[in-house]
Structure 1
Amino acid sequence: MTTLASSGLPFAVKPLAPVRANEPIQDYETLVNHLHQAAQVEMSTIPMYLFAAYSIQTKGHNQWQPGISAFRTIVAIAIEEMLHLCLVRNLLVALGAGDRITFNDPQFIPGYPSKMLHRVPDLELHLQACSPDLMKNVFMPLELPAAQDAPPQPDRYQTLGQFYQAIEDGLIRVDAAEGKNLWKYAEDSIPWQYQRAYWNRDGGGEPILITDLPSALEALKVVVEQGEGVDPAKATVPIDPVNPTPGLDELSHYARFKRIEQGIEPIGTVRNIVTDPKVGDFEEPVAGLARLFNASYCYTLAMLDELYNLPATFTAETPSPRYHVERTFVSAMSGLLYPIADLLMQTPTGRPHPNPDAPPPCAAPTFEFYDFPSEIRKVGAHHTRKEHLIHLCNQAITDFPRLGGDNSVHWLITKMPDIDHLPSQPPAARPRS
């Protein structure tokens, strides 16, 4: 029986099979393949949305202050996309396919610019400063609602709602064919599913434990209702799509991006930054700061991966290592990624602008995969990944002293769990055909 440990993850994932165009999902392997690619689509939105939010200047203002603003809106949507990512992975774990997916993987982390997976017409995704044009030409088409009675589309879909409808239809079809055998690992997988989220209050939905077809359909409903494929006749969706309460609604992702595009939710001052940056675009020491961001980004994803290897057991006698990872993962989103990105976006790239009359642009986070040196992954080696992250931060502090001090980036890194020393106990997985 294959487990996460025996498969050699995170760098030995079975390659994905191509999606068969215009063929409905009728078997387990095709279903799992579609779910993996649905997770990739969700993942592709998160760096893009965070980049746009980070590009909005917030110094001198409280970005969490109550009231409408593009910054708060986009961050809230990114957090909901993180929930969608975890719901899709929960479903894979329940199906005994948790060993098929790793977030901190060079094959999973998206690059930019890139085309949205399987979509027609083509939609190119960018890491780009926030603007009404970005909302209109990228974010709104990405979250475009499906037309009423639109057919399911397992490949070359026009909207994400149609792609998810194809997954839902396939899930029902495979469940009818396999019955209880499809869910034979689901009950035992509950401790390894993502159960408790500390999402900010601007976002809706919550993790769902998946044990059978009804709970799986509930999870997919949350994903679709919040943004991908909501009925175009409705501008609002329930904050809790599974248990809707009259009066407790929120705008869909599409509707929220439209409000930003129309100026209803003001963007404010946007930084002069590069588009689709790469670490190789920068001179030192800016390149070192960008590497620190990428290492922090990948360590955050690795912590999220580790949640799925740590059972959710809570006893007074045995404190749960998962609880520490859960809380620190969320802290890293605001306490690591945002401060480093903010510093990058205030620092010139170190290279001249092609147009000498134009103001030189500042750097920006690149959201690239950072490959921690392989020898540090072994417990007992000279450096763990956490120690390497501290080393990168120490190097950057020389030129960027704001990284140090009380309640700083450096301070938070030292408080993070050392995931190389956590006692992983991955669940069993369904044997591959």
Structure 2
Amino acid sequence: MDYTSPPSEESRQKFKSTILTMLRSAIKVELSTIPLYLYSIYSIIKDDGKGGTQARAKISVVVHQEMLHLALAGNLLTSIDSGPHLYSAASLPTYGGPDDVILYSKIPLRLERCEKSNLECFLRIEAPYLAPSKLTAEEESANTGVHDRVHPVLGALDKFNSIGEFYSELEDMIKKSAEYITFKNKDLQFSPTDFFSDKMTQVTDQKSAHHALKIIIDQGEGSVGVEEAHYQMFLELYMKRTEWTCQPVPNSPKTETYKENKLVYELALAFNASYCYLLVTIQKTWQVSDLLFRRGLIGNIHSIMIDVMTPLAEFMVNEPFQDGKAAPPFEFYDVQAEDPSKVDEAARKLWAAIQLHLGNAINEVQDAEKKEVLNVIKFSAERIMWPMPRLGHSSV
């Protein structure tokens, strides 16, 4: 695209279409990685006296930052067009299949316990496009097995050679966007008072757009020489990978595989509904400007993750299944309301589905202590209602 002459209306529209496509791709990248890292955390046995708690904490930092990246990418998209559409079968990645790879890479999408191959995958995901500096003797002795493979061979992809190169091109477009894009919708974007304090950026012009994208690049995919970059954090974990133990959870579990175990099956469905309820809530937040309504939505985001998804996952990874333990599948829960205009309907149906499946799971449990744990989770889920009835809003 020629950036040197004053842009015509046709070139403006072409630029806008291209950058919107790339921003939607960036959101899909973030949606792909968050379940990978959460699943890895859930698999680690905490308080095992072998470094499990520390490993979980370090990966949790990465998840926290990936949530920031999702919010920033969503702010960028909202500033140029309408906000992201997160709740749809097309938006959610699938895991474990032969064609399941992370966007703009050949890196397989697999939900796995936090062991060698899992961490190697994370290093490949987060590797910068530019060649990394030579490993030290200590790093070499760790036998990472990834530094010769983290960068896909030039020409192996249709357009981009890596996630890092994709972000590099997106950054270049952002830098040249001032003449092509009118930025808007500040009141629909996540703000520093909502999440992440000074790291959160509301996009109002080319400068703030570049700042938002630079945070994503510096912390994660595409970063080079940044101390807190995800690549460096995972490399440190890789070198300490014998310091914790994992539950024998399956690779990329499917809800259908749990059908013969009624309890685990209902827990998996409850988790999927919770995960999709989280995505619907985040999606809705980019659609409303009313401060009271937004406050309810943002409070729900925290509660769904901390009070429902996390304890549900912890319960599952301690529940026997076949020769190992169960684990959450992170699958799309279909309530026949994928249309973005039906986000409120989807939310209400997903909230009801969480109650239904948790209730069914409780009925399957005989152990009083386990029943009490699930009752607490169900009580927490019941309190995370879609904010409209609680705050007196009507459906949009």
TM-score with structure 1 length normalisation? 0.72
Determine whether 1:345 maps to 2:317. Answer: yes
CA contact (8 A) 1:296 1:336 kept: yes
CA 1:52 to 1:379, structure 2 compared with 1: closer, same or farther past 3 Å? closer
Percent identical among aligned pairs is 26
Between the aligned partners of 2:314 and 2:194, the Cα distance in structure 1 is: 23
Between Structure 1 and Structure 2, the one with more helix by share is: 2
Between the aligned partners of 2:20 and 2:307, the Cα distance in structure 1 is: 34
Task: Quote the offset at 1:117 in angstroms.
Answer: 1.1
CA contact (8 A) 1:103 1:302 kept: yes
Amino acid at match of 2:68: L
Between the aligned partners of 2:276 and 2:193, the Cα distance in structure 1 is: 19
Amino acid at match of 1:77: V
Between the aligned partners of 1:277 and 1:141, the Cα distance in structure 2 is: 22
Of 101, 104, 119 in structure 2, the residue corresponding to residue 115 of structure 1 is 101
Determine whether 1:261 maps to 2:238. Answer: yes
Between the aligned partners of 1:379 and 1:33, the Cα distance in structure 2 is: 26
Between the aligned partners of 1:74 and 1:50, the Cα distance in structure 2 is: 8
Between the aligned partners of 1:413 and 1:228, the Cα distance in structure 2 is: 34
CA contact (8 A) 1:132 1:260 kept: no
Determine whether 1:142 maps to 2:125. Answer: yes
Aligned to 2:35: 47
Aligned to 1:416: 384
Aligned to 2:221: 228
Between the aligned partners of 1:133 and 1:296, the Cα distance in structure 2 is: 28
Aligned to 1:355: none
Determine whether 1:194 maps to 2:178. Answer: no
CA contact (8 A) 2:45 2:52 kept: no
- Three-state SS of the structure 2 residue aligned to 1:175 is coil
Between the aligned partners of 2:298 and 2:64, the Cα distance in structure 1 is: 14
Aligned to 1:398: 363
Stretches of structure 2 lacking an aligned partner (at least 5 in a row): 1-12, 133-150
CA 1:230 to 1:38, structure 2 compared with 1: closer, same or farther past 3 Å? same
CA 1:278 to 1:305, structure 2 compared with 1: closer, same or farther past 3 Å? same
Between the aligned partners of 1:193 and 1:403, the Cα distance in structure 2 is: 40
Aligned to 1:371: 334
Aligned to 1:132: 116
CA contact (8 A) 1:70 1:266 kept: no
Range that drifts further, 269-278 or 110-119: 110-119
Aligned to 2:172: 169
CA 1:80 to 1:32, structure 2 compared with 1: closer, same or farther past 3 Å? same
Q: How many aligned residue pairs are there?
A: 349
Amino acid at match of 2:175: I
Between the aligned partners of 1:399 and 1:301, the Cα distance in structure 2 is: 28
Aligned to 1:213: 206
Stretches of structure 1 lacking an aligned partner (at least 5 in a row): 1-24, 237-250, 314-319, 352-359, 427-433
For residues 101-126 of structure 1, the C-alpha deviation after alignment (integer angstroms, 9 at most, x for no partner) is: 3112111111002111122xx11121
Between the aligned partners of 2:226 and 2:208, the Cα distance in structure 1 is: 26
Of 66, 69, 80 in structure 2, the residue corresponding to residue 84 of structure 1 is 69
Task: Quote the offset at 1:173 in angstroms.
Answer: 3.6
Task: Quote the offset at 1:215 in angstroms.
Answer: 0.2
CA 1:167 to 1:285, structure 2 compared with 1: closer, same or farther past 3 Å? same
Amino acid at match of 1:366: P
Amino acid at match of 1:230: S
Task: Quote the offset at 1:293 in angstroms.
Answer: 0.7
CA contact (8 A) 1:143 1:228 kept: yes
Between the aligned partners of 1:227 and 1:30, the Cα distance in structure 2 is: 22
Task: Quote the offset at 1:380 in angstroms.
Answer: 9.8
Between the aligned partners of 1:112 and 1:372, the Cα distance in structure 2 is: 21
Task: Quote the offset at 1:397 in angstroms.
Answer: 1.1
Task: Quote the offset at 1:338 in angstroms.
Answer: 1.3
Amino acid at match of 1:123: I
Task: Quote the offset at 1:312 in angstroms.
Answer: 5.0
Between the aligned partners of 2:306 and 2:48, the Cα distance in structure 1 is: 17
Task: Quote the offset at 1:329 in angstroms.
Answer: 0.8
CA contact (8 A) 1:325 1:417 kept: no
Between the aligned partners of 1:252 and 1:424, the Cα distance in structure 2 is: 43
